[in-house]
Amino acid sequence: MRKCSLNSLQSVFGKIASSALLYLPVDSADGRAVFSKWDDGTPLSNALNTVRSPKDFFFPQTEDLMRFKTEGKSIEVIDVREETEDFVVFGVRACDVKSFDILDRVFLAEPRDSYYASRRDHGVIVSLACTRPSETCFCSTFGIDAASPAGDVSCWKTESEMFWQANTEKGEALIKKIEELTEECSDEAVKEQQEKTARIMKKLPLAGLNTDAFGGGKTEELFDRPEWTELSEACLGCGTCTFVCPTCQCYDIKDFNTGNGVIRYRCWDSCMYSEFTKMAHGNNRLSQKERFRQRFMHKLVYYPENNDGLFSCVGCGRCLSKCPISMNIAKVMKKLGGE
């Protein structure tokens, strides 16, 4: 483990940015934290989490896939992919780091998504441990330790210092770059901070939330539960929950005629929308109740059933704070779990 003073953090960032693009959470004009490209002097936000997750760096909201150019009856397919630059995402919280395990199982399974895979190959994740968890946090429900984040490099921030620990080969390479700006140290201060954070986590409102009533094999037991009607009746179908979620991976593929060819692109989609997966025969989920149920059954039953028990939620709390009608996965779990 190594450390640097917070006074020298900008120099460390500069060293990292000298060989790769560096992104980190910064405070926007409206006071919200967002990931932004680092420039000399850019201050690191003290916010618990960003409005949107770092998923955007690997699975962007919109993305060109290819182009077509037609001349008469001939069609030319143009590959628009470019070599991805090396980049580092600093300040990723433990919940968001865990989300990549979920996304990787979708996009890196055969057949591999080459667009996502390229970004994963070139990206380095530097996590930052939480010290002030919010009342909307419930990552511990899914076995995530907010004080011990994974990633290529794990970091802990105290009042005066930043501690760094490499976890992967990528992480070791990054630590090597900043070696002259950091020094070897013990983990005593980190352990003390972890203990403080653990005590806070146990006092949070959702500390007792558990997954006992969910998981693979629960479809028949949960699918026709009458509670779905009550839970979904106020849902607006706005999709906000899916767009701030770090683990949602649904997308649509569309063609756009530019007048000088066609661009095929993909963009995020939401299972909460009435047109989601709509085809010539119509939509297989005609009511908002059915769409609402699909979202949460996928998170809590379908995904773990097909992925060794791994739930498709990381307890980041974004949907709790952003839903306009205050409906969220925690309330669904409490209701169906009998709490």
User: Could you give the CA distance from residue 150 to residue 54 in angstroms, rounded to a whole number?
Assistant: 14
Q: Identify the DSSP state of 78.
A: E
What are the angstrom distances between the C-alpha of 11 and each of 26, 89, 129, 170? Answer: 17, 16, 21, 20
Give the Å distances, CA to CA, from 247 to 178, 278, 311: 31, 22, 10
State how far the Cα of 27 lies from the Cα of 325, in Å rounded to an integer: 26
- Nearest-angstrom CA–CA distance, 168 and 165: 10
Dihedral (C-alpha) 16, 20, 21, 25: value to the nearest 10 degrees? -30
> In a 3-state reduction of DSSP, which class is residue 232?
helix
pTM of the model: 0.93
Q: How much is the pLDDT for 338? A: 80
Residue 100's contacts (CB-CB under 8 Å, 6 or more residues apart) are 58, 120, 125
CA angle 325, 331, 332 (to 5 degrees): 105
The predicted structure's pLDDT at residue 282: 65
Q: Cβ(230)–Cβ(289) under 8 Å? A: no
Separation CA 329–CA 113 (nearest Å) = 28
Whole-number pLDDT of residue 339 = 64
Residue 5 contacts residue 160 (beta carbons within 8 Å): yes
pLDDT value for 275: 79
The two tokens of residue 173 are 């390479």
One digit per residue, pLDDT tens: the chain, 339 residues?
A: 999 999 999 999 999 999 999 999 999 988 899 999 999 999 999 999 999 999 999 999 999 999 999 888 888 999 988 888 999 999 999 999 999 999 999 999 999 999 999 999 999 999 999 999 999 999 999 999 999 999 999 999 999 999 999 999 999 999 999 999 999 999 999 999 999 999 999 999 999 999 999 999 999 999 999 999 999 999 999 999 999 999 999 999 999 998 888 999 999 999 898 878 777 676 677 788 999 999 999 999 999 999 999 999 999 999 999 999 999 999 999 999 986
R_g over Cα of the chain: 22
Q: pLDDT value at position 74?
A: 87
Give the model's pLDDT for residue 254.
Answer: 94
CA distances from 263 to 56, 73, 258, 259 (A): 21, 18, 7, 10
User: CB neighbours (10 Å) of residue 89?
Assistant: 24
* pLDDT value of residue 283: 61
Tokens 């008469």 — which residue? 72
Nearest-CA neighbor of 219 among 289, 305, 314?
Answer: 305
- CB–CB of 138/103 below 8 Å? no
